[in-house]
Chain A
Amino acid sequence: MALAGRTAVWWARLRSPRPAAPRCLPPWLPAACERPYSSRGKEKVDMSTYPVESIRNFSIIAHVDHGKSTLADRLLEITGTIAKTDRNKQVLDKLQVERERGITVKAQSASLFYSHEGVNYLLNLIDTPGHVDFSYEVSRSLSACQGVILVVDANEGIQAQTVANFYLAFEAQLAIIPVINKIDLKNADPERVEKQIEKLFDIPIEECVRISAKQGINVEKVLQKVIEKIPPPQCNTADPLKALVFDSTFDHYRGVIANIALFGGEIQKGHKIVSAHTKKRYEVNEVGILTPNEQPTHKLYAGQVGYVIAGMKDVTEAQIGDTLFLYKQPVEPLPGFKSVKPMVFAGMYPVDQTEYNNLKSALERLTLNDSSVTVHRDSSLALGAGWRLGFLGLLHMEVFNQRLEQEYNMSVILTAPTVPYKAVLSSPKLIKEYGEAEITIINPAQFPDKLSVSEYLEPTVLGTIVTPHEYIGKIIVLCQDRRAVQKDMLYIDEHRVMLKYLFPLNEIVVDFYDALKSLSSGYASFDYEDAGYQAADLIKMDILLNGNPVEELATIIHSDKAYAHGKFLCERLKDAIPRQLFEIAIQAAIGKKIIARETLKAYRKNVVAKCYGGDITRRMKLLKRQAEGKKLMRKIGNVEVPRDAFIRVLKRQTEK
């Protein structure tokens, strides 16, 4: 399942080591700098020539495939940041997974230099994660901006992600420049899209800029709008240093590179700085701007955007949303900092246990750049040693897995994703044991009994669906089936409807997006944002084999869904367990109550018909392999379950 075809997603922290040298140098650099393939150890740009008034900090936000990266390419070309060639396609998308999926796993920020009406402007294009898996990070990135370019496809019109992105920018009180892209396409209908924008976002039609990023039509006008409509940052170099960390990467040679936006003061090599979150102290080794590769400068000043290298060893030391200040000159940290909280968990195991160490090292390397993935060692009697990984969302999980396979050639077993439930404890004894009254449950084994709980809570999301109206009926049935509650329904034009539903997160983690896409012939779009927890009638369902519980198949589930899911698991298990000498009852149970049952009949005949002198060698080999297999089987009571049976039951349904 993929949530994105072509999302401008900032796959926060998921990226390969970047190349050391820039592709080409911008023409505005001093002549001494114009040596190809060198960016360090030479004369540096003097950033003091760009006062706050000449700075604009902005992002481009768009739905998947509406042309965000193409517009960025053109802006980079026009400002001379990169050379203009036919090959500039998704310049900022470097990973295989990005180009295959058409998403931006890690789009880099870039400082553009542009002269307009005799003034030299510094335009900082701050790339934001386009997907709500990263809504927190989007909000942090947007907090470094004063405005956004909202790109909408002239053919497709407003989509779910357009809506989600718009509200993020709107709530951050940013200037919004609506841009209608792809006007060169045959079926482009910019008028209709302008009306949608007016109706849904209350932005006057005249403010929309019609462009074709692909052909470069009107792109210059977008830059002028950025200068005219987006206010410069409000801050002062004379104030003490206050820098927002809005991204960080890891470089094997230089350690953590933190991308920062200065809300006050200045920063330079030798400064002693402190992280407001960790309270750790560092000495600045290097500062610079992104063009989009790192370009060292002497200093960075208030209002500017760039990077800092300060001997941080681990990306967790430069968490997104953290504030950096000068040692002994503490400032009020910028508001809104949160530690990342994973929303989707899945077990990850090597297909072959002998691959454990290789997978471990691949995970370590991949998470080095991604502090948002949580990793806990886990082991399953059936699947062996592995990990329980926490992701920000489904796409995050999807891409992480794909990168493991593509970049590290690792094949893994990924179990069906689960979500973090909570329980409000009522038993004083348990409260004392946990040290708090509300606990988070990730593993069904920890699910506290109903008797000692006043209520269970499940995570929810507010989902936005934009669809052609002919699919509404089917989509409403689908949403109801997923226990979703309708919050809003609005015709954004004569043909398109926007629906808002409050979903329990677990109802969309497995196959919701696939179901939505298939029943709308691919036309409906979906996006979601965190909507907190709600009380839910949760129960723990056990799977029993001849009365003995199978630990790895225990599931926390809403009571409305227990019967159907129990039946599904029993059926799958029946197909996955080989017949044995006795009958096997495969049951789903809630407490003592059996809610589903399948019966695997006993073998009545299992003996090879012909066995003479000729084929005994082959026969013995097979028997010995079976004997070896027996040793690896998971015994549940007297039932022997092969390892791959669990894999077949536990792995995600889309991988049947």
Chain B
Amino acid sequence: GAPCPQWPYCRKRCSYCNFNTYVVPAADEAAVRACLVRETRTLLRLGRVQSVTSVFFGGGTPSLASPATIAAVLEAAAEAAHLPDGAEVTLEANPSSAGTPRLTGFRAAGVNRLSIGVQSLDDAELRLLGREHTAAEARGAVEAARGLFPGRTSIDLIFGLPGQSRGAWARGLEAALGLCDDHVSLYQLTLERGTALAAQVSGGALPIPPQDLLADMYLTACAMLVAKGFRHYEVSNFARKGALSTHNLSYWRAEQYIGVGPGAHGRFVPWGEGGCSREARVQTLEPDAWMREVQSRGHGTRRRVVLSPLEQLEEVLALGLRTDEGVTHERWGRFSPHLSLEAAFGAPGKAEALQEQGWLVLDGGGLRCRREGLALLDSLLPDLLCQLQRR
């Protein structure tokens, strides 16, 4: 079991973000803390989690929470289930709330891995993204984090901003590579509906980045990172010296994870309620409503859907193929005892054609994308899902 508590608040909404976050003058931290603690306990018991494999504090901006809150949630997890000493505990941090004293506090609370939302090392780009920090602040935060969490600091970068050139991106990445530790996540900017940035682009105030340029940026970045010794272990994630994110791998490997906090998603079997199937669960979105539910029922689960065996396999496939290890025979077999990977995708059909065309490999390791195929995964998946549905 891997709990992922959400801290739903931000100081400011970024121009590209459509997450479930809230900007409030002053959050009632004590109340939120109490609810996070209570829901963590309830859901870990519900899932009969024996041992917590990792914890990921996301959001929102969890680095805005006090170390005491982080500590309280971790204590609750340790109480409800076993929390081994070495378990990965990640906190997402904004450069503007990641000074050395705070980070020291988080480390004392039990955090042992930091993911810093650098996004860019160019002040103009940061303004376009609506970030509240400068490039210099980002550098400072990364340096502070590397001092406290050596080998366990990750940075997030965004590319494909409206008007960004390939050269500008390459230079920015070069600079980031000089700063970073052993883990980098790089995300192509997605213009999400309803965001300020998408409105500016659709209104014509900002240019739409051309498809081919985005592909160039991505492929260039992949090559640069690989040249620096990074393993491209997921579509947007790179690690060296084995610094992969255990927690995030648990999503892509379709393991159990438990969403805690407003709008958090989870996938687990609620044995404690007499359930015996994997469920997709979503917690109530709005923080105050969520808190009322936690206070009255112990948790704020708003929606639970039992996933059919086919739906589980679809997720195993869609998530697993994002990683360089792909979907292993062992994992597939856990979800599909009767239909092997070979039986599903080795027989003549669309999947076989995709293998022949060089996008996919099915071998002793399992089913996975080739390097070229990974960048085109979303064009491969509909065919694979079609084929799976027919079996």
Contact = CB atoms under 8 A, between A and B. Distances in A.
A603 B318 contact: no
Given A613-B267, A616-B265, A630-B386, A608 B212 contact: no
A619 interface: yes
Interface string A585-617: 000000000000000010111111111111111
A280 interface: no
Contacts of B377: 606-607
A620 B375 contact: no
B367 to A, nearest CB: 16
A623 B385 contact: yes
Contacts of A579: 211
Contacts of A238: none
A631 interface: yes
B248 A612 contact: yes
A47 B380 CA distance: 81
B235 A614 contact: no
Interface in B176-194: 187-190
Contacts of A612: 248, 251
A623 B212 contact: no
A613 B318 contact: no
A624 interface: yes
Interface string B261-295: 00111110000000000001010000000000000
Interface stretch (B42-50, B103-111, B213-221): B213-221
Contacts of B251: 611-613, 616
A620 B254 CA distance: 13
A626 interface: yes
A179 to B, nearest CB: 55
B386 A605 contact: no
A605 B375 contact: yes
A629 B257 contact: no
Interface string B230-245: 0000011000000000
Contact of A611 (B19, B188, B257, B322): B322
B280 A605 contact: no
Interface centre among A580, A605, A616 (most CB of B within 10 A): A605
Contact of A609 (B188, B252, B380): B188
B375 A604 contact: yes
B236 A610 contact: yes
A581 interface: yes
A630 B383 contact: yes
A261 B282 CA distance: 77
Given A610-B187, A620-B311, A630-B383, A581 B359 contact: yes
A627 B318 CA distance: 12
Contacts of A609: 187-190, 235-236
Contact of A608 (B190, B259, B263, B265): B190
Given A603-B379, A608-B190, A627 B265 contact: no
Contact of A613 (B257, B382, B383): B257
B296 interface: no
Interface centre among A607, A623, A630 (most CB of B within 10 A): A607
A607 B376 contact: yes
B319 interface: yes
Interface string A622-652: 0110110111000000000000000000000
Nearest to A619: B318
B374 interface: yes
A627 B389 contact: yes
B381 interface: yes
Contacts of A619: 318
Given A579-B211, A580-B379, A611 B319 contact: yes
A611 B374 CA distance: 14
Contact of A607 (B189, B282, B375): B375
B314 A601 contact: no
B22 to A, nearest CB: 16
A607 B319 CA distance: 12
B75 interface: no
B374 A607 contact: yes
B359 A620 contact: no
A608 B386 contact: no
A613 B214 contact: no
A629 B386 CA distance: 10
B266 A613 contact: yes
Contact of A605 (B211, B305, B380): B211
Interface in B335-391: 357, 359, 374-383, 385-386, 389
A629 B383 CA distance: 10
A627 B311 CA distance: 13
A616 B319 contact: yes
B280 A581 contact: no
A496 B190 CA distance: 60
Nearest to A580: B379
A622 B95 CA distance: 34
B259 A581 contact: no
Nearest to B248: A612
A627 B212 contact: no
B219 A605 contact: yes
B4 interface: yes
A607 B214 CA distance: 11
B315 interface: yes
A608 B192 CA distance: 12
A616 B315 contact: yes
A615 B357 CA distance: 30
Contacts of A630: 382-383, 386
Given A619-B318, A630-B386, A604 B187 contact: no
Given A607-B375, A616-B319, A581 B236 contact: no
Contact of B318 (A604, A614, A620): A620
Nearest to B245: A612
A605 B248 contact: no
Interface centre among B305, B322, B385 (most CB of A within 10 A): B385
A617 B265 CA distance: 9
Interface string B313-335: 01100110010000000000000
Contacts of B378: 606-608, 623
Interface centre among B280, B359, B375, B382 (most CB of A within 10 A): B382
A425 B138 CA distance: 80
Contacts of A604: 211-212, 215-216, 219, 375-376
A623 B318 contact: yes
A614 B264 contact: yes
A616 B250 CA distance: 13
Contacts of B248: 612
B265 A614 contact: yes
Interface centre among A620, A629, A631 (most CB of B within 10 A): A620
A615 B19 CA distance: 10
A480 B315 CA distance: 62
A620 B266 CA distance: 15
A613 B259 contact: yes
A557 B162 CA distance: 44
A642 B316 CA distance: 28
Contact of A627 (B190, B259, B386): B386
B65 to A, nearest CB: 18
Contacts of B190: 608-610
Given A613-B266, A616-B265, A616-B319, A601 B212 contact: yes
Contacts of A580: 379
A294 to B, nearest CB: 59
Contacts of B389: 627
B189 to A, nearest CB: 8
A623 B215 contact: no
A623 B314 CA distance: 10
A623 B381 CA distance: 7
Nearest to B185: A610
Interface of A: 579-582, 601, 603-617, 619-620, 623-624, 626-627, 629-631
Given A582-B357, A605-B219, 9 more contacts: A604-B211, A604-B375, A606-B379, A607-B322, A613-B4, A613-B257, A615-B265, A619-B318, A630-B383
8 contacts: A604-B212, A604-B215, A609-B235, A612-B251, A614-B259, A620-B318, A623-B378, A627-B389
